[in-house]
Copies of this chain bind each other. A is one copy, B any other.
Amino acid sequence: MSRPPRARESVLDAYEDVVIADGPAAATMDAVARAAGVSKGGLLYHFASKDALQSAVIERMSSRGVAEMADVAASPVGAIAAFMRSSIMHNTPFDRTIVTVSRLAQNGDAVASDALRRLRDVWEETLRPHTRDETALQLVMLVSDGLYFNNALSTGSVPGPDLDDDALAALIALVERSAA
């Protein structure tokens, strides 16, 4: 916990960069070292194995996820609208981390899948009091999942939103009418 060294964090950033740009298959230790601007030996000083790198980014997601959720719950525009807005990618640190972990999960990493499911469960708990019933809660969660999935599909970078601002506002209004 305490505070991780700067160098470690920037290696982790580089790892996310490569996974987001080219997928987990391309995120070799060599590629990550190159992206981080260190040698492979330098990388391995901070993360003794590829597994350690993956674990670290999964932990990073969970801790950033908790912070994000606190923001959503406290938002003046209301939890549902804030949650939906947070579900479209803006290339924030948390966006980058969750896309990375999603890709690891799809690639067969069971630890990543579990962490995502746990995070999703916590979000569900947070939003439950803001929805009129379980069906409405599922609607909100699934629309959010859909937004994430679509954004995560594009390779090359974290894409901007597929919906423009007006379309997103209309969608939020529709979901709130249906679910709040």
Contacts and interface: CB of A to CB of B under 8 A. Distances in A.
Interface of A: 22-26, 102-103, 105-110, 113, 116-117, 134-136, 138-139, 141-150, 152-156, 163, 167, 170-171, 174-175, 177-178
The 6 tightest CB contacts between A and B, nearest first, are: A23-B108, A142-B146, A145-B146, A106-B106, A149-B149, A146-B146
18 contacts: A23-B107, A23-B108, A25-B25, A25-B108, A105-B153, A106-B106, A110-B156, A135-B167, A135-B170, A135-B174, A136-B174, A139-B171, A142-B143, A143-B146, A145-B149, A145-B150, A146-B146, A178-B178
Nearest to A144: B146
Contact of A146 (B22, B105, B106, B141): B141
Nearest to A145: B146
Contact of A139 (B105, B110, B175): B175
Copies of the chain in the assembly: 2
Contacts of A174: 135-136, 139, 178
Contacts of A148: 149
Contacts of A108: 22-26, 155
Nearest to A163: B138
Nearest to A134: B167
Contacts of A102: 106
A155 to B, nearest CB: 6
Contact of A107 (B25, B135, B136, B170): B25
